[in-house]
């Protein structure tokens, strides 16, 4: 198939998704528990991935390279072959679009292993791909347990690349399996992303952003803003505002469309509750908690949002990924201290820098070791056009944007001696 034809198919699939956006959003909300508002945004992003990479498919081209006299050298991008995609339960729709659309755009066939806790939209997407006219075998959705179907996919000799999003522990297993087969792999393993708030920032905008970045998807977001680093001279004022906001947050069912939904499973709730009780036991002050709304259906896995602070710099709550609506707040003294603190975990995914001083914001943005930095804003999961990925324990490889295409394709150099 030509690149243009591939692009058209991707675009067509994007339109099919748009046409059925409301029913897909309802399915995503039902499967994951997220509020409808968020699910609608996820489906819009899913459609946008196919639109973006549909447009990109016939714009990825090689170069000619000056070489010796009598030679013509050019490079061409080729598909890798079959790419495997192990995706998590937090954003099943978005994750599928993010990883599969660029793989298809460059001409690969794909095998997707959705998470056992949320696979309904990925399965539906398999049907849509067939309807859009993708040839049989090009889009394969294979649900199953991680240790069974996921491990089998990662270790399969027929796979030419594997992309994984999930926990660092499973990431190690997937990368080891990829190494045995000498294939490439992209790992996206979460984070402990800071928002750094200087005293000269627009504090109202910063407060909104700090709250939203940790409650989005009940904190189950790899790029959640889970650390608020606050300059010491505005600590009292800023924290008072956060406390007021946290106290008003409400968790409810998807249809209630409140600030956040339940978390994905009893297992996930137990894990988050464990972080909360260990932080409390260690004497870290819990400054505020939200509430579960009246009238939620019984049996849901609700976790009222919590803010802890000042969290000691070496405490678990300040360093480890909770993957729930739990914010750790820490004070810092000056620019150097802010950078040290922002870089003070094993992770390096996203950061936000809030300052009215453009020079300072840029200096700090350049010194934080993460894949994406937002200045006077924060984009947990946002921006299909923006290259995204980790440093340190957050993983490696880049997804989103045009750059994603390069990881999913092989560059071939053709050297012609013409005399």
Question: CA–CA separation, 33 vs 237, rounded Å?
Answer: 34
Q: Which of 83, 99, 165, 372 binds ligand NAD (CB under 6 A)?
A: 165
Q: Which of 323, 332, 347, 378 binds ligand NAD (CB under 6 A)?
A: 323
State phi, psi for 376 to the nearest 5 degrees. 55, 45
Q: Which of 93, 105, 174, 228 binds ligand NAD (CB under 6 A)?
A: 174
Which among 188, 241, 321, 399 is annotated as catalytic? Answer: 188
Kindly identify the residues of this chain, within the stretch 180-209, that bind ligand NAD according to CB under 6 A.
188-190
Kindly identify the residues of this chain, within the stretch 3-62, that bind ligand NAD according to CB under 6 A.
none
**Closer CB to ligand NAD, 241 or 399, in the complex:** 399
Which among 222, 241, 321, 399 is annotated as catalytic? Answer: 222
Q: Which of 92, 126, 146, 254 binds ligand NAD (CB under 6 A)?
A: 146
3-state secondary structure the chain: CCHHHHHHHHHHHHHHHHHCHHHHHHHHHHHHCCCHHHHHHHHHHHHHHHHHHHHHHHHCCCCECCCCCCEEEEEEEEECCEEEEECCCCCHHHHHHHHHHHHHHCCCEEEEECECCECHHHHHHHHHHHHHCCCCCCEEECCCCHHHHHHHHHHCCCCCEEEEECCHHHHHHHHHHHHHCCCEEEEECCCCEEEEECCCCCHHHHHHHHHHHHHHHHHCCCCCEEEEEEEHHHHHHHHHHHHHHHHHCEECCHHHCCCECCCCCHHHHHHHHHHHHHHHHCCCCEEEECEECCCCCCCCCCCCCEEECCCCCCCHHHHCCCCCCEEEEEEECCHHHHHHHHCCCCEECEEEEECCCHHHHHHHHHHCCCCEEEECCCCCCCCCCCCECCEECCEECCECCCHHHHHCEEEEEEEEECC
| 160 lies in the site for ligand NAD, by CB under 6 A | no
Question: CA–CA separation, 170 vs 276, rounded Å?
Answer: 24
**Closer CB to ligand NAD, 24 or 222, in the complex:** 222
Contact residues for 128 (Cβ-Cβ < 8 A; gap 6+): 13, 16, 17, 20
**Closer CB to ligand NAD, 14 or 166, in the complex:** 166
Shortest Å distance, C-beta 221 to ligand NAD: 7
Residues, the chain: 419
Kindly identify the residues of this chain, within the stretch 206-245, that bind ligand NAD according to CB under 6 A.
222
Question: How many CB atoms are closer than 10 A to CB 234?
Answer: 18
Closest-by-Cβ residue to ligand NAD is 146
Q: Is 119 a catalytic residue?
A: no
Shortest Å distance, C-beta 218 to ligand NAD: 12
Kindly identify the residues of this chain, within the stretch 292-321, that bind ligand NAD according to CB under 6 A.
321
Under a CB-based contact definition with an 8 Å cutoff, are residues 220 and 232 in contact? no
Kindly identify the residues of this chain, within the stretch 271-290, that bind ligand NAD according to CB under 6 A.
271
Q: Which of 12, 40, 98, 113 binds ligand NAD (CB under 6 A)?
A: 113
Shortest Å distance, C-beta 315 to ligand NAD: 17
**Closer CB to ligand NAD, 241 or 321, in the complex:** 321
Shortest Å distance, C-beta 383 to ligand NAD: 16
Shortest Å distance, C-beta 86 to ligand NAD: 5
| 170 lies in the site for ligand NAD, by CB under 6 A | yes
| 115 lies in the site for ligand NAD, by CB under 6 A | yes
- Which x/- pattern over 58-97 shows residues binding ligand NAD (rule: CB under 6 A)? ----------------------------xxxxx-------
Question: CA–CA separation, 232 vs 157, rounded Å?
Answer: 55
**Closer CB to ligand NAD, 94 or 355, in the complex:** 94
Size of the site for ligand NAD (CB under 6 A): 26
**Closer CB to ligand NAD, 188 or 259, in the complex:** 188
Shortest Å distance, C-beta 127 to ligand NAD: 20
**Closer CB to ligand NAD, 189 or 288, in the complex:** 189
* Residues at the contact surface with ligand NAD, assessed by CB under 6 A: 86-90, 113, 115-116, 146-147, 150-151, 154, 165-167, 170, 173-174, 188-190, 222, 271, 321, 323
Catalytic residues: 188, 222
């Amino acid at each position: 198939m030509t690149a243009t034809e591939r692009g058209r198919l991707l675009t067509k699939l994007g339109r099919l998704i748009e046409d059925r956006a409301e029913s897909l959003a309802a399915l995503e909300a039902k499967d994951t528990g997220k509020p409808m508002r968020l699910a609608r945004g996820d489906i819009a992003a899913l459609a946008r991935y196919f639109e973006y990479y549909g447009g990109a498919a016939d714009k990825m081209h090689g170069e000619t390279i000056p070489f010796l006299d009598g030679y013509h050298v050019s490079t061409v991008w080729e598909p890798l072959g079959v790419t495997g995609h192990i995706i998590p339960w937090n954003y099943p729709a978005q994750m599928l679009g993010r990883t599969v659309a660029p793989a298809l755009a460059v001409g690969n066939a794909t095998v997707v292993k959705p998470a056992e806790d949320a696979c309904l939209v990925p399965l539906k997407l398999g049907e849509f791909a067939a309807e859009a006219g993708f040839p049989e075998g090009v889009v394969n959705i294979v649900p199953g347990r991680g240790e069974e179907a996921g491990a089998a996919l990662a270790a399969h000799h027929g796979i030419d690349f594997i992309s994984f999003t999930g926990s660092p522990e499973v990431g190690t297993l997937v990368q080891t399996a990829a190494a045995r087969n000498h294939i490439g792999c992209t790992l996206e393993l979460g984070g402990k992303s800071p928002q750094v708030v200087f005293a000269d920032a627009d504090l109202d905008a910063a407060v909104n952003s700090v709250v939203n970045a940790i409650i989005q998807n009940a904190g189950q977001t790899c790029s959640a803003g889970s650390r608020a680093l606050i300059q010491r001279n505005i600590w009292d004022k800023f924290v008072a505002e956060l406390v007021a906001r946290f106290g008003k947050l409400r968790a409810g069912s998807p249809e209630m469309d409140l600030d956040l939904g339940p978390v994905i499973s009893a297992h996930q709730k137990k894990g988050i509750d464990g972080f909360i009780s260990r932080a409390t036991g260690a004497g870290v002050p819990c400054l505020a908690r939200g509430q579960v709304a009246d009238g939620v259906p019984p049996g849901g896995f609700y976790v009222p949002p919590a803010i802890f602070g000042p969290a000691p710099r070496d405490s678990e709550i300040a360093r480890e990924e909770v993957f729930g609506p739990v914010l750790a707040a820490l004070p810092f003294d000056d620019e150097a201290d802010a950078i040290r603190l922002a870089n003070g975990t094993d992770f390096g995914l996203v950061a936000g820098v809030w300052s009215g001083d453009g020079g300072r914001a840029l200096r700090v943005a350049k010194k934080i070791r993460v894949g994406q930095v937002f200045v006077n804003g924060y984009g947990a999961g946002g921006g299909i056009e923006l290259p995204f990925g980790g440093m340190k324990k957050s993983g490696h490889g880049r997804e989103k944007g045009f750059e994603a295409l390069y990881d999913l394709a092989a560059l071939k150099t053709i050297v012609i001696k013409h005399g």
